[in-house]
Amino acid sequence: MGAAQLVILFLALATAVGAPPSEVAVGALFTYDSTIGRAAKLAIELAVDDVNSDGKVLPRTQLNLVPQDTNCSGFLGTIEALQLMEKNVVALIGPQSSGIGHVISHVVNELHVPLLSFAATDPTLSASEYPYFIRTTISDYFQMNAIASIVDYYQWKRVTAIFVDDDYGRGGVEALGDALALKRAKISYKAAIPPNSNTDVINDVLFKANMMESRVMIVHVNPDTGMRIFSVAKNLQMMASGYVWIVTDWLAAVLDSSANRGLKDMSHIQGLIVLRQHIPESEAKDKFISKWNNVAHNRNITSGLNSYGFYAYDSVWAVARAVDKFLSNGQQINFSTDPRLEDSNGSTLHLSSLKIFDGGEQMLHQLLLTNFTGVTGPVQFDSEHNLVRPAYDILNVVGSGSRLIGYWSNYSGLSVAAPETLYQMPRNTSTSAQQLHDVVWPGDSTTKPKGWVFPNTGLPLRVGVPIKASFKELVSGRGDNMSGYCIEIFNAAIKLLPYPVPCQFITIGDGTKNPSYIDIIRMVAANSLDAAVGDFAIVRNGTQLAEYTQPYIESGLVIVAPVKHVTSSAWAFLEPFTLEMWCVTVALFILVGIVVWLLEHRTNEEFRGSPRRQVITMLWFSFSTMFFSHRENTVSTLGRFVLIIWLFVVLIITSSYTASLTSILTVQQLSTGITGIDSLVSSSLPIGYQAGKFTKRYLTENFNVPLSRLVPLNSIQEYADALNRGPKNGGVAAIVDEKPYIDIFLSNYCSFRIVGEEFTKEGWGFAFQRDSPLAADLSTAILQLSESGQLQRIHDEWFSRSSCSSDDSEVGATRLGLGSFWGLFLVCALICLFALLVFFIRVCRQYNQYSSSEAAGEPSTAAADPVLRQRRPSRLGSFKDLIQFVDKKEEEIKKTMKRRSGEKDSQAAGFSYAQSVASA
């Protein structure tokens, strides 16, 4: 052989070693004769044909499909899967059963063969446990979140879950419970249907579900057996008005697959809400549907195409693209034996035929990098090996078909716009943005169902009622003969409910010692009672255990203390003002009298005369203003200004004095000196409270009152006895209790009064178990009673009985001190000082002019002799002269100044004449 021939042979061998394989085996595992399998089988075959005819993906390699039928059996499906793994497949498409998926996932983990499931939706098939499991459909985790959004949108709080009792059903219901919890709702009853159950078993399960209170039914079963549920529900009259049925995507697959479904079957599912995987409209989708329908018609396939067929089609393409990337990177498809699977002891299972895919990890990596647009939209996987952008259509079954009422997506929640359009907008998950179109509910009703009824278990509502030693006006009686204000409110509200609620009253307490109210609430929380009715205050530690209704009466803690009538003394008229107040008031009277006298003395004849007369006039004028009986008129502007301000001050003083004196002569005085919660807490006196109520905890936790100061009391007789004995005789200084109790107490005992104001604000309500729909419905009934006026009429009937005359006078009148008037007095004093300042400025100015005019009236000789004029000093005047000037009448001063001005002019004229004669 020549050198050239050797080179050619070497190149041929090298090319043969690096060439891609002529075919690649891919397994498919599903049930052929099933709703999902019939659609998936043809879709997978079409996908393989399209891949093999495509020149861009695997151009030199044929995709060889190796299908296996699981025959709707978990055991046979597992065996078939093991047989399929013997054929050296590089990937496995399926299974459609979540149960088989759990088993096969363990196998593919060991053999490193990627598993792509287009129908196993169980959320517990997680990537952390099964790294070789890839879900090419939408996980039920997202579907249950969509259902929870619908439940929350219609404000339902409790649902009944009807599910098949296998991995698929249990996993979905677990995810539903978690999703509802995020919306403050829950599954109140789980109706588990065993797999392959007959009609009788389904009837028993639904009958028990119908006994429960929830009317929101969530159905999560298999497509091939699920339709029987609605036939049974129809016979049990569970498809009537008032029921809500929300069905997972299995029913949409049935409806889409049953092209020739009968009207009889449709009559069983009217008004249902159905979810279906959302597949965006596209040219590729339309092309695939057309091809699928043509082939199905040619093969006489009567079953229609459902959403799982789309996902099966894209699953094949995902595998083909990953294999193409795998081979393009120079990887080889090789399998090796696992020594742990060697046959031993003559086993006939041939486990040694199961081989490990050496390139399985690289193939898994290429699959997780998948990113293309298929017939279902974007095909891309997240870190949990789930498809990105999960979304659902929300359908309403009406007539012979279904209509679209909205969408749900993990991006934007509920909406009436398609998810693919919302992905182009900013994310908005606010409650106001969530919306759906109108729904026709079961029973052909367009009114949103309430979603629950009182459970038809034949057992009445267990209502706990506290029985105490006193306050029979609130709750009294035994058994069915219960009465009282609280009981009448409860019965009136129950009658307004749109459904019957039989009640059984269970009395708690022996009537001699008050029961603990928080213990009764704990009984409700522990399901020993269904409700608690009575004088239950809505407080923090109670709301942590139970659900309360709307308050039917306002309440709050008040203080009641003994009072006494004080006998007036002979000097009671001095008590309205304190000593400081009296002194300052008298001083201000004298000050104003002096100021007005100064301002009026020079211009008003009534303020002139002998010194004795002027003092009397000044004092008389000042004190007579107290009664507005002063006879002297003020003529100066400043005097009138000061008088107006002073009369206003006198009006305030006399009014306050009159009111305070009236209160002192008529008011009842506190015998202990307690005026409110602050003075009560700061004292060391014992405090009474009603045993069993929250008052003890409130005083100790919020005001740090020692337990040694708190005295429990059970009846209004004990209230009165403890207050009458007082702290010195083993009683209490005051009692802290809620206002309604104190109103009842004071209607029987008139020697006590409420001190201060309410220092808490709460109300009384009825307690129910957490998230009980009865609490919300009864709250609505209480509001209806309030709006109709019936709530007030019941209140007046029970709280208007009083043997004491009403006395609205306040307790503990106090004397008025300077602190209440110092601002007013300060303003008056400043105005007086201002008036005096203006007055003295005017007087000084006038005195200066008067002195100048006096100097001008000197003999003309002094004016003519310059030397004498230089020697005579100017007259500045003395303080005595100033006082004399002030004492003069202003009219006389003006006349004198005018006369002196005329004399000055005459002298000036005579001097000028003398000078002219001398010069001549």
The model's pLDDT over 121-149, given as tens digits with 9 standing for 90+, comes to 999 999 999 999 999 999 999 999 999 99
The verdict on 129 and 174 lying in the same domain is: no
Compute the distance between CA of residue 123 and CA of residue 121 in angstroms, rounded to an integer.
6
Least confident of 485-489, 561-565, 573-577, 649-653: 573-577
Average pLDDT over residues 568-591: 74
The verdict on 179 and 155 lying in the same domain is: yes
Q: How many other CB atoms sit within 10 Å of the CB of residue 207?
A: 13
Is the CB of residue 598 less than 8 Å from the CB of residue 883?
no
Average pLDDT over residues 775-784: 92
Average pLDDT over residues 79-108: 88
* pLDDT band of 76, cuts 50, 70, 90: confident
Burial of residue 533, with CB atoms counted within 10 A of its CB: 0-12 exposed, 13-18 middle, 19 or more buried: buried
φ/ψ of 437, rounded to 5, equals: -75, 170
* pLDDT band of 865, cuts 50, 70, 90: very low
Q: Which residue has the tokens 């000036």?
A: 908
Q: Examine residue 54 and state whether it is found in any structural domain, yes or no.
A: yes
Q: Is the pTM of this model over 0.75?
A: no
φ/ψ of 346, rounded to 5, equals: 70, 30
The verdict on 635 and 611 lying in the same domain is: yes
Compute the distance between CA of residue 159 and CA of residue 550 in angstroms, rounded to an integer.
24
Q: What is the CA radius of gyration of the chain?
A: 51
Axis-axis angle for helices 579-601, 822-856 (nearest 10): 20
Is the CB of residue 180 less than 8 Å from the CB of residue 151?
yes
SS3 state of residue 314: helix
Q: What is the DSSP letter of 392?
A: E
* pLDDT band of 259, cuts 50, 70, 90: low
Q: DSSP states of 606-628 as a string?
A: GG-SSHHHHHHHHHHHHHHGGGT
Q: Examine residue 468 and state whether it is found in any structural domain, yes or no.
A: no
Average pLDDT over residues 519-547: 93
Confidence at residue 911, expressed as pLDDT on a 0 to 100 scale: 54
The verdict on 218 and 102 lying in the same domain is: no
User: Please, what is the Cα angle at 406 between 401 and 409, to 5 degrees?
Assistant: 125
Picking from 541, 520, 546, the residue whose alpha carbon sits closest to that of residue 700 is 541
Question: Which domain covers residue 123, as residue numbers?
Answer: 20-137+281-340+351-380
Whether 757 shows a pLDDT value over 90: the answer reads: no
CA 410 from chain centre, in angstroms, equals: 24
Average pLDDT over residues 215-239: 92
Burial of residue 596, with CB atoms counted within 10 A of its CB: 0-12 exposed, 13-18 middle, 19 or more buried: buried
Compute the distance between CA of residue 477 and CA of residue 485 in angstroms, rounded to an integer.
12
The verdict on 598 and 634 lying in the same domain is: yes
Total domains present in the chain = 3
Confidence at residue 594, expressed as pLDDT on a 0 to 100 scale: 77
Quick one: which H or E segment has residue 718? helix 716-725
The verdict on 169 and 87 lying in the same domain is: no
Whether 635 shows a pLDDT value over 70: the answer reads: no
Cis peptide before 442, with omega less than 30 degrees from 0? no
Whether 28 shows a pLDDT value over 70: the answer reads: yes
Structure tokens at 254: 């049935």
Q: Which residue has the tokens 């089609």?
A: 313
Confidence at residue 919, expressed as pLDDT on a 0 to 100 scale: 56
Q: Which residue has the tokens 């299974």?
A: 95
Q: Considering 636, 653, 670, which residue would you say is the last residue of a domain?
A: 653
Show contacts of 847-856: CB within 8 Å, 24+ apart: 847/877, 847/882, 847/885, 849/897, 850/885, 850/893, 850/896, 850/897, 851/875, 851/876, 851/877, 853/896, 853/897, 853/900, 853/901, 853/904, 854/900, 856/900, 856/901, 856/904
Confidence at residue 372, expressed as pLDDT on a 0 to 100 scale: 95
Average pLDDT over residues 661-678: 67
* pLDDT band of 857, cuts 50, 70, 90: low
Whether 198 shows a pLDDT value over 80: the answer reads: yes
* Mean pLDDT value across the chain: 83
Expressed in percent and rounded to 5, the helix, strand and coil fractions of the chain are 50, 15, 35
Structure tokens at 600: 């009026």
Assign residue 484 a region (left: φ > 0; alpha: ψ between -120 and 50; beta: otherwise): left
Compute the distance between CA of residue 125 and CA of residue 109 in angstroms, rounded to an integer.
13
Whether 411 shows a pLDDT value over 50: the answer reads: yes
> For residue 280, what are the contacts with CB-CB under 8 A and spacing of at least 6?
377, 418, 419, 420
Least confident of 132-146, 479-493, 595-609: 595-609
Burial of residue 576, with CB atoms counted within 10 A of its CB: 0-12 exposed, 13-18 middle, 19 or more buried: buried
* SS3 readout for 782-819: HHHHHHHCHHHHHHHHHHCCCCCCCCCCCECCCCECHH
Structure tokens at 772: 């009980």
φ/ψ of 48, rounded to 5, equals: -65, -40
* pLDDT band of 187, cuts 50, 70, 90: very high
Q: Examine residue 94 and state whether it is found in any structural domain, yes or no.
A: yes
The verdict on 161 and 270 lying in the same domain is: yes
Confidence at residue 862, expressed as pLDDT on a 0 to 100 scale: 45
Q: Examine residue 2 and state whether it is found in any structural domain, yes or no.
A: no
Torsion angle (degrees, nearest 10) of CA 337, 338, 344, 346: -30
Confidence at residue 245, expressed as pLDDT on a 0 to 100 scale: 97
Q: Examine residue 160 and state whether it is found in any structural domain, yes or no.
A: yes
Q: Are strands 762-764 and 553-555 parallel, antiparallel or unpaired?
A: antiparallel
Compute the distance between CA of residue 581 and CA of residue 822 in angstroms, rounded to an integer.
9
Q: DSSP states of 458-484 as a string?
A: SPPEEEEEE--SS-TTTSB-STT--BS
Confidence at residue 116, expressed as pLDDT on a 0 to 100 scale: 95
Confidence at residue 24, expressed as pLDDT on a 0 to 100 scale: 94
* SS3 readout for 65-133: EEEEECCCCHHHHHHHHHHHHCCCCCEEECCCCHHHHHHHHHHHHHHCCCEEECCCCCCCCCCCCCCCE
Confidence at residue 630, expressed as pLDDT on a 0 to 100 scale: 60
Torsion angle (degrees, nearest 10) of CA 571, 576, 577, 579: 30
Q: Examine residue 165 and state whether it is found in any structural domain, yes or no.
A: yes
Tens digits of residue pLDDT in 308-336: 999 999 999 999 999 999 999 888 889 88
* Cβ density class 702-727: b for 16+ within 10 Å, e for less: eeebeeebbbebbbbebbbebbeebb
Is the CB of residue 301 less than 8 Å from the CB of residue 394?
no
The verdict on 159 and 109 lying in the same domain is: no
Whether 515 shows a pLDDT value over 80: the answer reads: yes
> For residue 57, what are the contacts with CB-CB under 8 A and spacing of at least 6?
51, 317, 320, 321, 324
Q: Examine residue 625 and state whether it is found in any structural domain, yes or no.
A: yes
Whether 274 shows a pLDDT value over 90: the answer reads: yes
Quick one: which H or E segment has residue 744? helix 739-746
Q: Considering 638, 653, 668, which residue would you say is the last residue of a domain?
A: 653
Q: Examine residue 813 and state whether it is found in any structural domain, yes or no.
A: no
Q: How many other CB atoms sit within 10 Å of the CB of residue 847?
A: 16
The verdict on 85 and 48 lying in the same domain is: yes
Tens digits of residue pLDDT in 332-381: 889 888 776 665 555 555 666 788 899 999 999 999 999 999 999 999 99
The verdict on 602 and 639 lying in the same domain is: yes
Max Cα separation, the chain? Answer: 178
Picking from 127, 56, 115, the residue whose alpha carbon sits closest to that of residue 89 is 115
Confidence at residue 260, expressed as pLDDT on a 0 to 100 scale: 56
> For residue 33, what are the contacts with CB-CB under 8 A and spacing of at least 6?
69, 72
| Percent of the chain clearing pLDDT 70 (strictly above) | 79
Whether 813 shows a pLDDT value over 60: the answer reads: no
Confidence at residue 492, expressed as pLDDT on a 0 to 100 scale: 95
The verdict on 153 and 241 lying in the same domain is: yes
User: How big is the chain, counted in residues?
Assistant: 920
Whether 191 shows a pLDDT value over 80: the answer reads: yes
Q: Are strands 62-69 and 115-117 parallel, antiparallel or unpaired?
A: unpaired
Confidence at residue 608, expressed as pLDDT on a 0 to 100 scale: 62
The verdict on 271 and 396 lying in the same domain is: yes
Average pLDDT over residues 745-768: 89
Is the CB of residue 439 less than 8 Å from the CB of residue 433?
no
Least confident of 65-74, 179-188, 537-546: 65-74
Q: Which residue has the tokens 């057992």?
A: 459
Confidence at residue 345, expressed as pLDDT on a 0 to 100 scale: 56
CATH number assigned to the domain comprising residue 169: 3.40.50.2300
User: Please, what is the Cα angle at 473 between 467 and 474, to 5 degrees?
Assistant: 55
* pLDDT band of 154, cuts 50, 70, 90: very high
Least confident of 77-86, 301-310, 387-396: 77-86
φ/ψ of 217, rounded to 5, equals: -100, 125
Compute the distance between CA of residue 585 and CA of residue 818 in angstroms, rounded to an integer.
9
The residue ranking higher by pLDDT, 471 or 618, is: 471
Quick one: which H or E segment has residue 835? helix 822-856
Torsion angle (degrees, nearest 10) of CA 203, 204, 209, 211: 110
Q: DSSP states of 490-525 as a string?
A: HHHHHHTSSS---EEEEEES-SSSPPPHHHHHHHHH
Confidence at residue 335, expressed as pLDDT on a 0 to 100 scale: 86
